[in-house]
Structure 1
Amino acid sequence: MTREDNQLGSFLRTRREKIDAASAGVVDTTRRRVTGLRREELALLAGVSPSYYTRIEQGRDRHPSREILEAVARALRLDDTERAYLWSLATPALAPADAHAVPEHTVRPGMLRLLERWADLPAFVVAPNRDVLAGTALAARVNPAWSPGHNLIEFTFLDPRAPEVYPDWEDITRQAVAGLRTTAAARRAELDPFVAAMRERSETFRELWDSHDVYERVIGDKRLRVDGIGVLLLSFETFALAGPQGHVLYVYFPQPESKDDTALRSLV
């Protein structure tokens, strides 16, 4: 069984390896040769049988009870996003095998009209695989990846301009992969081929994907280097658009009356 076949076990293993044994209250007088917690130590902290926990992590029990997973989640100190991802792996949606197999890349006409009116903001719509489907002219001026026809993941990992555009490129790569993994848990038929292709095309992507981190960043700040302007600090908000397509609207904006506000206005 490959790691991709046993995503539940892989996720639990990577979380287990991130836990510091001493901080978890594990007393070990021997020279420790493992990273994080051993399986039997985690099982003890969770109050479950070591042999049963091993079956879960090895993929021999794909659907443990909610009570067991709650206990394991507490022992692993999972945050809300990680817990939600854990449930999605243990209880996959009962949908047809070909659900979401053909991504819908048509943006509603009303959304396109709104983007046309937001001339003073970088805003764009993305598909679950992070294809940019539509955006304002200012979005494309601020970041070449934010224009229709580009893919945010491909740009970040494969375009040589990315480290220049993103001063915090390493942080961006980690967040991008962790966010994509969160999305992929609910849309595997649609996203598995894209993930497989990216794993082949980028070693950095492959390493980050295999770390099994999950992340859902719906608001935040991002620094971008813009030609002729320098580095801009912009805040952003995200909005999930209604409908089965899984489209998300990103809107970036500066702090009022800041130097970033002045610089952005000069680009309009």
Structure 2
Amino acid sequence: MDRAELAAFLRSRRERIEPADVGLPAGPRRRTPGLRREEVAQLAFISTEYYTRLEQARGPRPSREVLTALARALRLTDAERDHLHLLAGAPPGPPPGPSREVRRSILDLVHRLPQSAAFVTSATLEVLAWNELAAALMEDFSALPRRERNLARLAFLGPCPQGRRLYGVSDVEAFARHAARRLRTAVARYPDDPEVGALIRELLDGSAEFARLWASHDVDTAPTLRKTFQHPLVGPVTVNCDALDLTDRDQQVVIYTAVPGSPSEEALRLLSVIGTQRMDAPR
């Protein structure tokens, strides 16, 4: 255990986080940047005295549980999490769970694609971020609780308004296979994450189709390069599909674009005007 380096690393990560980043008020009299020591301790569910001793290079070797809690409290990347474990003399195990934090640069990219429907998914196909056109084409994700933003849950368990499964998309069976295979990979990567396990159990209990696909143990899938949405207002919208892997976060940026000059491009342009005002229709 390198106490001096561990102390310096913890201090540097603490000082880069603004209180608003973790839902805390800025408050008066902040003479140093970032969070206070007691705030990190609170977020990590450890005592302030113990955390202070770690930053002063006087603390005992922290347990894996404490290191995991500190990594979450300080919003460390996977590389930073591994570095924290190595400094503490505890080789890192598998990541505790899929990352839900989307990089600011990726958020900016998604919102700077006004003519494309773009969104970001986690390792378990939870929609983490989206632009206005994605919400108009698919669903107003901001109006949904977090658990209902999962595309795998939606594909296998519904609901299916007006008989339109998964937004009436043409490749729903192919997407179902992709979802099962991607979740198979997530289970192997995050074996101890309770949310991943709960999602798999829910899908196995609620969908015979998922149970059949899960039993195949397939982990490879061919990408879908084009699909058609049956939209209730503008009709069929055919889009090209591109997925960009964000390997450091185990996430994907999915981008739907229409062929220039096509009726689908006109439909997307109309949707950008309509927005999500139609989303009060029964589901």
Q: TM-score, normalised by structure 1?
A: 0.57
Using the TM superposition, give the Cα deviation of residue 144 of structure 1 relative to its aligned residue in structure 2, in angstroms. Answer: 1.8
Q: 1:241 to 1:167 in 2, by over 3 A?
A: closer
The answer on whether the counterparts of 2:241 and 2:254 sit within 8 Å (CA) in structure 1 is yes
Summarize deviations over 1:70-100 as a string: whole Å, max 9, x none: xxxxxxxxxxxxxxxxxxxxxxxxx855x22
Aligned to 2:131: 136
Note if 1:174 corresponds to 2:177: yes
Aligned to 2:257: 253
Summarize deviations over 1:185-205 as a string: whole Å, max 9, x none: 434334344323321232221
Rounded to whole Å, the distance in 2 between the matches of 1:113 and 1:121 is 14
Aligned to 2:226: 221
Note if 1:125 corresponds to 2:114: no
Summarize deviations over 1:187-233 as a string: whole Å, max 9, x none: 43343443233212322211211122233344511221112111221
Using the TM superposition, give the Cα deviation of residue 146 of structure 1 relative to its aligned residue in structure 2, in angstroms. Answer: 6.5
The answer on whether the counterparts of 1:167 and 1:223 sit within 8 Å (CA) in structure 2 is yes
Aligned to 1:239: 244
CA RMSD of aligned residues (A): 2.5
Secondary structure, counterpart of 1:179 in structure 2: helix
Q: 1:183 to 1:218 in 2, by over 3 A?
A: farther
Hey, which bits of structure 1, 4+ residues long, moved more than 6 A?
145-148
Aligned to 1:154: 153
Rounded to whole Å, the distance in 2 between the matches of 1:189 and 1:145 is 31
Aligned residues with identical type, % of pairs: 28
Number of equivalent positions? 172
Aligned to 2:110: 115
The answer on whether the counterparts of 2:123 and 2:182 sit within 8 Å (CA) in structure 1 is no
> Unpaired segments of 5 or more residues in structure 1?
1-94
Matches within 5 A, 1:62-81: none
The answer on whether the counterparts of 2:242 and 2:254 sit within 8 Å (CA) in structure 1 is yes
Aligned to 1:186: 189
Rounded to whole Å, the distance in 1 between the matches of 2:140 and 2:176 is 14
The answer on whether the counterparts of 2:170 and 2:227 sit within 8 Å (CA) in structure 1 is no
The answer on whether the counterparts of 1:115 and 1:136 sit within 8 Å (CA) in structure 2 is yes
Rounded to whole Å, the distance in 1 between the matches of 2:185 and 2:230 is 27
Aligned to 1:199: 204
> Unpaired segments of 5 or more residues in structure 2?
1-90, 273-283
The answer on whether the counterparts of 1:182 and 1:215 sit within 8 Å (CA) in structure 2 is no
The answer on whether the counterparts of 2:127 and 2:150 sit within 8 Å (CA) in structure 1 is yes
Q: TM-score, normalised by structure 2?
A: 0.54
